Structures are given as C-alpha cells and as structure tokens.
C-alpha cells in the first residue's frame, strides 16, 4: 500500500493505493473510499429536469456544432439538446426513457 497526496480543485487529499496483481480481478472498497473520474472535453448538461425521449448519437460518433444530441421532454414539451461544439462523443451517460435532473451531465464531447 502506497500513500499519495493529490490536489483536486485546490483541495489536498491523501489517498492510499494498493497494487493489484494480474490474477486479482477486483479490490474490495470500504465506505471511505472515493471514486474519481477524469472526463476531458465539453460536458453537455440537461437544461431542465425531465425525461429523455430519444438519444440521437452514440459514443465515438463525430458531431458538428448545433447537431441534435438528444430529445428531452419537459412539461409535456419536447426540447432538443444540441451540441455546443464540434467534436467526438466520448461518453454518453443517458438512455432512452431516463429521468434527468436540471444541470445533470448527460454526455461528453471531445
């Protein structure tokens, strides 16, 4: 077990890392463990709470600025969520019929 100090958004965290051998398939985590993900690119967020009616793109797909990424139903109205930038879809967090919150990250465009 090795201890490292990591600075995230100006806050210093101390983490312990355990080397996993090739034969081990998983590590047991306790409630004090922290998961950190690294998503580069532009985070596309829902602009209101609602239900995803359709997802128009898949991971790896190239998109242009203004292209429809998904359809969000809010207050019985369907609204297009469009790409704010041109790029490639690196991660899609939503599926059809998923409920989303206001400002929830729904996908990443690199």
Query: Residue ranges per domain, the chain?
Result: 42-109
For residue 53, give Cα distances in angstroms to 37, 71, 77: 27, 5, 11
pLDDT of amino acid 54 = 95
For residue 31, give Cα distances in angstroms to 66, 70, 73, 97: 42, 35, 36, 31
CATH annotation of 42-109: 2.40.50.100
How far is Cα 60 from Cα 40, in angstroms, rounded to an integer? 14
Cross-strand pairs, 16: 3
pLDDT of amino acid 62 = 94
Whole-model pTM: value is 0.63
Mean pLDDT of 61-79: 92
């Amino acid at each position: 077990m090795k201890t490292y100090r990591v600075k995230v958004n100006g806050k210093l965290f101390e983490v312990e890392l355990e080397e996993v051998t090739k034969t081990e398939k998983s590590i047991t985590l306790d409630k004090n463990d922290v998961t950190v993900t690294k998503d580069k690119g532009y985070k596309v967020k829902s602009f209101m709470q609602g239900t995803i009616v359709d997802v128009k793109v898949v991971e790896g797909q190239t998109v242009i600025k203004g292209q429809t990424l998904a359809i969000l139903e809010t207050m019985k109205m369907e609204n297009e969520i469009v790409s704010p930038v041109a790029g490639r879809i690196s991660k899609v967090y939503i599926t059809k019929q998923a409920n989303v919150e206001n400002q929830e990250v729904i996908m990443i465009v690199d």
